[in-house]
Amino acid sequence: MSPTFKPLKIGKIEIDFPVVLGALAGYSDLSYRLICRSFSAPYCTTEAMLDHQMLLENKLRRKLIKLDDADHPVAGQIMGNDPAVMAQAAAALREMGFDVIDLNFACPVSKVVSKKRGGFMMGQPDRALEIVRAVLRRIPDRPVTLKLRRALHESDETYEDFWKIARGAFDAGVAGICVHARSVDQKHGGRADWEFLSRVKSDFPDRTILGSGDVHTAADALRMIRQTGVDGVIAARGAIGNPWIFRQVRDIAAGREPCQPDIDEQRELIARHFQLACEIYGPRRGLKIMRNFGIHYSRMHPHPAKVRMACVNIKTENDWTALMTTYYADRDSGHHPYG
């Protein structure tokens, strides 16, 4: 590995490469985490889960909380606004086997923010820190990290609340923060402010800082580390449908040409993902998951628009099989109209 790209440390956990899979609602589920691991993703985070749901033994919790021996180290992400409930949820995740507990103070989705959760906390530093302290008291033996945005509003020029949360959290003992360099207002639009990441890292030179925002390719991930000095980077939208990104970052860091999957590799991977999703969630939900992912995998295909349209129209497993046969057929089968 090039000296610029050092392993990442979260508490006592050492992660051998500093580009990891971020939390992605609807995407960073166990099936996709295992797919990304097979391309050497060294660390993954679940999607954000509501704190109180972690305390109920029900179907939704069983669906969200799926772990596998091959899926470590892994962070479980929770969001909420009551320190006591967040602390209980963190303890529940520790019992289930999560290696790191990540607190989400970043989610910009209106129905989350209006319920005073997620990104809402970026404007409530005192409350946010109460939550942090309650969680740390409850699980002193497990690393706790935060997902933050650079500010709540676009107009927050001083970012005062950000610094208050970040400083208070490090003083309280969090193991690291991941900063999405957009404001909550920005949601996922506009540009991420990488300059802000540089400032965060220079303010906390000895702390673990992960950066997030506008990492579309493997080259972007490594550029963020070089340009801003952050200790690690999360691949988010850039990783949806491109698990190869985790191999590509290692290729580039080692001075090799980054691998580009051909149609045979794409077929093999998509088939494996389909099988995993069906094994983990059953055939109905597995098919739904793959329809969603298929749309993203289509970006790699020589005819993305056609594959995307075929994915959108999938209703049955037969539709799926027909799509695979039409667009991802094995060259050796002699049927390869689109490869």
Contact flag: residue 310 with ligand FMN (CB under 6 A): no
Tell me how far, at minimum, the Cβ of 186 lies from ligand FMN, in Å: 10
Q: Residue 52 CA to chain centroid, in angstroms?
A: 21
Tell me how far, at minimum, the Cβ of 80 lies from ligand FMN, in Å: 13
Residues 6 or more apart whose Cβ sits within 8 Å of residue 54: 61, 65, 78, 88, 89, 92, 93
Please name which of 56, 76, 73, 55 lies closest in space to residue 65, comparing C-alpha atoms: 76
Tell me how far, at minimum, the Cβ of 332 lies from ligand FMN, in Å: 36
Q: Which residue, 92 or 329, is less far from ligand FMN as judged by CB?
A: 92
Q: Which of 142, 180, 201, 291 contacts ligand FMN by CB under 6 A?
A: 180
Please report the sign of the dihedral spanned by the C-alpha atoms of residue 311, residue 316, residue 320, residue 323: negative
Question: Which of positions 88-107 make contact with ligand FMN (CB under 6 A)?
Answer: 104, 106-107
Q: Strand, helix or coil at 82?
A: coil
Q: Which residue, 19 or 324, is less far from ligand FMN as judged by CB?
A: 19
Listed as own residue / partner, the contacts of 193-198 with beta carbons closer than 8 Å and 24 or more positions apart are: 193/150, 194/224, 194/227, 194/228, 195/228, 196/150, 196/159, 197/224, 197/228, 197/230, 198/227, 198/228, 198/229
Tell me how far, at minimum, the Cβ of 42 lies from ligand FMN, in Å: 16
Listed ranges 16-24, 92-100, 202-210, 262-270: which one lies at the site for ligand FMN (CB under 6 A): 16-24
Return the H-helix or E-strand segment holding 150.
strand 144-151
73: preceding bond cis by omega (within 30 degrees): yes
Q: Strand, helix or coil at 159?
A: coil
Residue 286 corresponds to which amino acid?
G
Q: Cα(335)–Cα(339) distance, rounded to whole angstroms?
A: 9
Question: Which of positions 191-250 make contact with ligand FMN (CB under 6 A)?
Answer: 192, 212-215, 234, 236-238
Residue 198 corresponds to which amino acid?
S
Question: Which of positions 134-163 make contact with ligand FMN (CB under 6 A)?
Answer: 147
Q: Which residue, 312 or 322, is less far from ligand FMN as judged by CB?
A: 312
Q: Which residue, 106 or 323, is less far from ligand FMN as judged by CB?
A: 106
Q: Which residue, 195 or 279, is less far from ligand FMN as judged by CB?
A: 195
Listed ranges 20-28, 68-76, 165-173, 258-266: which one lies at the site for ligand FMN (CB under 6 A): 20-28
Residue 111 tokens, joined:
């129905």
Q: Which of 21, 54, 77, 230 contacts ligand FMN by CB under 6 A?
A: 77
Q: Which residue, 100 or 329, is less far from ligand FMN as judged by CB?
A: 100
Q: Which residue, 107 or 329, is less far from ligand FMN as judged by CB?
A: 107
Task: Determine the Cα angle at 143 with ends 31 and 248, to 5°.
Answer: 45
Tell me how far, at minimum, the Cβ of 79 lies from ligand FMN, in Å: 8
Question: Which of positions 31-60 make contact with ligand FMN (CB under 6 A)?
Answer: 47-48
Compute how many residues bind ligand FMN; rule: CB under 6 A: 23
Listed ranges 17-25, 203-211, 271-279, 292-300: which one lies at the site for ligand FMN (CB under 6 A): 17-25
Contact flag: residue 298 with ligand FMN (CB under 6 A): no
Q: Which residue, 44 or 278, is less far from ligand FMN as judged by CB?
A: 44
Residue 261 tokens, joined:
């999957």
H helices of the chain, where?
30-37, 59-64, 83-96, 110-113, 125-138, 160-172, 194-203, 218-228, 245-253, 263-281, 283-297, 304-312, 317-327
Contact flag: residue 25 with ligand FMN (CB under 6 A): yes
- Interface residue list for ligand FMN (CB under 6 A): 22-26, 47-48, 77, 104, 106-107, 147, 180, 188, 192, 212-215, 234, 236-238
